[in-house]
Chains A and B, each alone.
Chain A
Amino acid sequence: CTIRAFSWHPHTSKFAVALLDDSIRVYNSTSATIPSLKHRLQRNVAAMAWKPLCASILAVACQTCVLVWHLDPTSLSTRPSSGCAQVLSHPGHSPVTTLAWAPSGDRLLSASPMDTAMLVWDVSTENCVQLQWFGGGGVTFLSWSPDGSKVLAATPSAVFRVWEAQMWTCERWPTIKGRCQTGCWSPDGSRLLFSVLGEALIFSLSFSEYRGELQGQVGGSKRASIVADLSETSFETPYGEERIGGEVHSMVWDPTGERLAVIIRAVFRTRNSPIFELLPCGFLRGEEGAQPQLIAFHPSFKKGALLTV
């Protein structure tokens, strides 16, 4: 069955998979039991995220609310009760399609394409603060930079916003052609790579070094530069000539900063300092007919990078 969402635990070898039947399974490399999470409000799961700096708290973006599962990491039960789930709901905030935890683990951001406000939740007290803007629709994609300083919020229109996470002010970035499809941050939060619907390019936006004195400013550079052109090119491979290229569906940057994986089955090797360069290092060949939908790097793999497709 196809998967709706996938999420690696940030510190251990554990991942959660959301299936089409609205149940979530948690697979753990150290344990044989596979807990299956079900709740009556857990419908149309769009995204999941494990809480950083925690053993097992999973936030799930559902149709009408955000469910936060508090699982017992040592329990052997295969059906945790619905009592373990905390329901975070706010009137008008549905369907929730995207979530992001702060890397310091204390705040959860949730957003919906139908709501022109992002919610910043304090999960333990169930208090939320609305960050509102006018016009431009809701939010389709959220990504918090790994150093905790900035948040990318892409909207359905040709505009995306980058918020800074100290005083919560934002910068608007209008794109020329289409909406921002996906984006990912470098591990130190200084660079944002994003792609736009309708163009087979990867753009890069750099932000000034965060010194802590730039209160209230995002500090982004004035223009985004193009770093990779992914239009169709042909490559000589042992299997014959191949044409590969096209639009970027989703991107992830691995936690060591060395590799960027882009779904069109191309893997680039990156080196972020001193000069930023993007060199294609290899292609992953999938099976015939298999469509890659989601990719994620294992966040704490010690021996390099483990990519899950």
Chain B
Amino acid sequence: MEEGAGRQRSLLRQVLGWRVAAAVVWSVLLLPLCTAAFVVLSGLDPFHPLRWISNSFNDLRTSYVIFCILLMSVVILVISIFNVEFYAVVPSIPCSRLALIGKIMHPQQVIHSVVHAVMGMLVAWCAAVMTKGKFQFLAVPCTPSESLEAAVPHPQMCLNEYHLFFLLSGAFMGYSYSLLYLINNMNYLPFPIIQQYKYLRFRRALPLLIKHSCVESLYFVRNFCVTYYFFGYIPKVWISTTMDLHIDSKLHPLDTLAGLLDLPLFYHSWLCGVFLLITWYIAWLLFKIYATEAHHFPIQPTFAEETDQCLPKILNSNPPLIIKFLALQDLMLLSQYSPVRRQEVFSLSQPGGHPHNWTAISRECLSLLSDLTQRLMAQQEAAAANGRAKQPAGELKVSPQTPGAVGTEDMSFQSQRSNVIPRASMSSLVKPSLMPLKASPGSDVGSPFSSPALNSKTGILDSISPWRGSVQSPHIRRRGPKLWTSGSDLQINGSHHESFPVLTAARAGSEAVQPNFIYTWLQNKQEQIKTFLSKRVLIMYFFSKHPEASIQAVFSDAQMHIWALEGLSHLVAASFTEDQFGVVQTTLPAILNTLLTLQEVVDRYFKLPHVSSKPPRISGSLVDTSYKTLRFALRASLKTAIYRITTVFGEHLNAVQVSTEHKKRLQQFLEYKE
């Protein structure tokens, strides 16, 4: 265990270490440029341009600007450390408002926000010092009063409210940055759709970054002005008492409308915000670009130390998620562009002649895809069982087609489709006899609560159902329709079929029920409480699951599956001409089975409500929302993968051993009718 974790850490350090270091170095190197631009712009004097330019250049050489640059480097280093700690290749999508609040209140996030606020304050201090003028110092001599009696040998020190305003605006912007980072899932690392050199990617993103920072800074300054107007007196009073400074009564206090409507103040705060955001976003962008760059994993290890790093080994062990993503991306690239590495994949081991590489790679890809299939099927069952109203017509239309006649070829084909429905409707058959559930129509009301209850019920039924099915057991599946189909017909058509299956179903149900009377009574009470609570609008506001978010959460790691599909299908297509030893042919039936099953399940999943509607696309934003449409990419690449194999193999596929229903679907693909 220890060894494994240690190996994983060293692998992570090896792959990610230099990337992070390079990103930090480049963001620090770009800092003097940003600082110079800031100094020039902050001394803006449109009426005396020559004086402005010369003053700015003189300022750039002073010691305090150099000190500020060093301080900013430290800030960037801290920000980068937080980027590295918080990144995620699989976004965490809060499905309900309560989950979102929980995410914000999480201790990690609180630390993130506090540290960013402090860093923001440091940046604002640097900006204030570099702006000079009235912003430079916290404590300034008070304006002397005119009366001679008040003349004192030492002028009193007053609080410079402008400086305080700056510092607090910096803290506020740091905090807002952290909050937006969380809400917009900016810790998500999207992998690019085409490979490009890092410099080109950075150059392409830079104008958008600058524009986004300017606009966001405007919003931040506006929000801060409002906050300061209401709450500005608190820090003012606190600072002046702690540091023994007086509040200058001659000047306008800033937490009034007259004080805030100050254009230079607004301009300088906005510029400070732009400076902060640009430097922080550049650090974030560089980290993203470096972290998602393709990494070359060797297939055959040339040295003994490299065995841990070779692609088949990495895929089969359980590496950190980013390493797995990079490995799958590398698989996708080598399958398309690299004949030499493809040969290594198809090669046999010496001695022994076993295709270890191909077996390892194909096994991992197939297990990923089967995983996804299982997950989607579970989701469909949960959705179908969640109250009548949620059952879409698309699923139901299949079952009436399954008549009482069993044992025909069509039956076995339909059995796959009707498999999910009878199970779900079985549980809904049993449900009415157990408890009075008031299904609230047309809303997700019951969803977060009834699913655990229902899942436990299906758990009971699972143990007695004859076909506790996994995907890869066709024999068990074929027994299904005989009993459950007529049960589902009863459910849907409302007509009375043979009483035998119904009795059996009810008997099976009651057998499970009797020993758990207390349990069902408790469940009853629980359901009643939940139904009561569900009527309270406020509770539902927080607890209701957003359907689009839940769907996105199911597909949040679909990028892995997309790459697995592309890599696998390209390798299989290439093996038609390049595979000398025939290593791919033995696994072809398994591959086709997995792909066709997954395709079926995905097609069915897309018939559920909300799944096939695309979220609105916002172009031209720095925030990356590509995780919201991953399911469409998955569906398209799945279809393309199957077509790739059928196009290359053509009629030869008829000789491959697949089940009859899959053969039919393959025929559809061969005729381009899907």
Contact B672 A126 (CB under 8 A): no
A53 on the B face (CB < 8 A): yes
Contact B674 A53 (CB under 8 A): no
Contact A105 B643 (CB under 8 A): yes
Q: A90-B619, A166-B333 are in contact. List 6 more A-B contacts (CB 8 A).
A: A12-B672, A54-B639, A73-B674, A124-B637, A129-B192, A169-B197
Contact A212 B339 (CB under 8 A): yes
B228 on the A face (CB < 8 A): no
Contact A53 B633 (CB under 8 A): no
Contact B629 A125 (CB under 8 A): yes
Known: A90-B619, A104-B336, A212-B340. A120 touches B643 (CB 8 A): no
A-chain residues with CB within 8 Å of residue B200 when the two chains form the complex: 168
Contact of B204 among A53, A104, A107, A130 (CB under 8 A): A130
Contact A91 B620 (CB under 8 A): yes
B-chain residues with CB within 8 Å of residue A74 when the two chains form the complex: 673
Q: Which residues 80-132 of A sit at the B interface, judged by CB distance below 8 A?
A: 90-91, 104-107, 120, 122-127, 129-130, 132
Separation of A124 and B559 alpha carbons in the complex (Å): 13
Indicate with 1 or 0, residue by residue over A131-161, a CB within 8 angstroms of chain B CB atoms: 0100000000000000010000000000000
Separation of A166 and B333 alpha carbons in the complex (Å): 9
A-B pairs with the 3 shortest C-beta distances? Answer: A124-B636, A212-B338, A125-B629
B184 on the A face (CB < 8 A): no
Name 8 A/B residue pairs within 8 A (Cβ), A-sorted.
A73-B674, A91-B620, A120-B193, A124-B633, A166-B195, A166-B333, A168-B196, A213-B340
A-chain residues with CB within 8 Å of residue B340 when the two chains form the complex: 211-213
Q: Count of B residues near A, CB < 8 Å? A: 38
A55 on the B face (CB < 8 A): yes
Return the chain B residue nearest A51 by Cβ. Answer: B640
Q: In whole Å, how far is B615's beta carbon from the nearest beta carbon of chain A?
A: 10
Separation of A104 and B636 alpha carbons in the complex (Å): 12
Contact B629 A126 (CB under 8 A): yes
Contact A54 B640 (CB under 8 A): yes
B635 on the A face (CB < 8 A): yes
Q: In whole Å, how far is A81's beta carbon from the nearest beta carbon of chain B?
A: 15
Q: In whole Å, how far is B634's beta carbon from the nearest beta carbon of chain A?
A: 8
Q: In whole Å, how far is B626's beta carbon from the nearest beta carbon of chain A?
A: 6
Contact of A122 among B337, B566, B619, B633 (CB under 8 A): B633
B417 on the A face (CB < 8 A): no
Separation of A299 and B614 alpha carbons in the complex (Å): 34
Return the chain B residue nearest A104 by Cβ. Answer: B336
B280 on the A face (CB < 8 A): no
Return the chain B residue nearest A167 by Cβ. Answer: B195
Known: A105-B640, A124-B636. A11 touches B647 (CB 8 A): yes
Contact of B339 among A106, A132, A211 (CB under 8 A): A211
Query: In which size bucket is the chain A interface?
Result: 20 to 34
Separation of A167 and B639 alpha carbons in the complex (Å): 25
A-chain residues with CB within 8 Å of residue B647 when the two chains form the complex: 11, 53
Majority SS at the chain B contact face: helix
Contact of A125 among B192, B341, B633, B671 (CB under 8 A): B633
Return the chain B residue nearest A74 by Cβ. Answer: B673
Contact of B644 among A12, A104, A126 (CB under 8 A): A104
Q: Which residues 251-289 of A sit at the B interface, judged by CB distance below 8 A?
A: none
Contact B193 A129 (CB under 8 A): yes
Contact A216 B644 (CB under 8 A): no
Separation of A168 and B644 alpha carbons in the complex (Å): 23
Contact A167 B196 (CB under 8 A): yes
Q: What is the interface of chain A, defined by CB distance below 8 A to chain B?
A: 9, 11-12, 53-56, 73-74, 90-91, 104-107, 120, 122-127, 129-130, 132, 148, 166-169, 211-213, 216
Separation of A129 and B614 alpha carbons in the complex (Å): 20
Q: In whole Å, how far is A161's beta carbon from the nearest beta carbon of chain B?
A: 15
Q: Which residues 639-660 of B sit at the A interface, judged by CB distance below 8 A?
A: 639-640, 643-644, 647
Return the chain B residue nearest A122 by Cβ. Answer: B193
Q: In whole Å, how far is B346's beta carbon from the nearest beta carbon of chain A?
A: 14
Return the chain B residue nearest A300 by Cβ. Answer: B647
Return the chain A residue nearest B620 by Cβ. Answer: A91
Q: Which residue, of A105, A107, A130, A216, has the highest number of chain B Cβ atoms within 10 A?
A: A105
Return the chain B residue nearest A213 by Cβ. Answer: B340
Indicate with 1 or 0, residue by residue over B554-567, a CB within 8 angstroms of chain A CB atoms: 00000000000010
Q: In whole Å, how far is A64's beta carbon from the nearest beta carbon of chain B?
A: 14
B-chain residues with CB within 8 Å of residue A73 when the two chains form the complex: 672-674
A-chain residues with CB within 8 Å of residue B672 when the two chains form the complex: 9, 11-12, 55-56, 73
Q: In whole Å, how far is B414's beta carbon from the nearest beta carbon of chain A?
A: 19
Q: In whole Å, how far is B671's beta carbon from the nearest beta carbon of chain A?
A: 8
Contact B337 A212 (CB under 8 A): yes
Separation of A249 and B337 alpha carbons in the complex (Å): 33
Separation of A148 and B337 alpha carbons in the complex (Å): 9
Q: In whole Å, how far is A211's beta carbon from the nearest beta carbon of chain B?
A: 7
Contact B640 A55 (CB under 8 A): no
Separation of A104 and B333 alpha carbons in the complex (Å): 13
Contact B644 A54 (CB under 8 A): no
B630 on the A face (CB < 8 A): yes
B-chain residues with CB within 8 Å of residue A123 when the two chains form the complex: 636
Contact of B640 among A91, A106, A129, A168 (CB under 8 A): A106
Return the chain B residue nearest A73 by Cβ. Answer: B673
Return the chain A residue nearest B334 by Cβ. Answer: A212
B-chain residues with CB within 8 Å of residue A11 when the two chains form the complex: 647, 672
Separation of A56 and B644 alpha carbons in the complex (Å): 14
A-chain residues with CB within 8 Å of residue B626 when the two chains form the complex: 125, 127
A-chain residues with CB within 8 Å of residue B566 when the two chains form the complex: 106
Q: Which residue, of B194, B341, B673, has the highest number of chain A Cβ atoms within 10 A?
A: B194
A-chain residues with CB within 8 Å of residue B673 when the two chains form the complex: 55, 73-74
Q: In whole Å, how far is A124's beta carbon from the nearest beta carbon of chain B?
A: 4
A-chain residues with CB within 8 Å of residue B630 when the two chains form the complex: 125
Separation of A167 and B195 alpha carbons in the complex (Å): 5
Contact A91 B197 (CB under 8 A): no
B475 on the A face (CB < 8 A): no
Q: Which residues 331-383 of B sit at the A interface, judged by CB distance below 8 A?
A: 333, 336-341
Q: Which residue, of A54, A106, A211, has the highest number of chain B Cβ atoms within 10 A?
A: A106
B617 on the A face (CB < 8 A): yes
Separation of A125 and B626 alpha carbons in the complex (Å): 7
Contact A54 B339 (CB under 8 A): no
Return the chain A residue nearest B646 by Cβ. Answer: A53
Q: Which residues 589-637 of B sit at the A interface, judged by CB distance below 8 A?
A: 614, 617, 619-620, 626, 629-630, 632-633, 635-637
Q: Which residue, of B337, B632, B633, B639, has the highest number of chain A Cβ atoms within 10 A?
A: B337
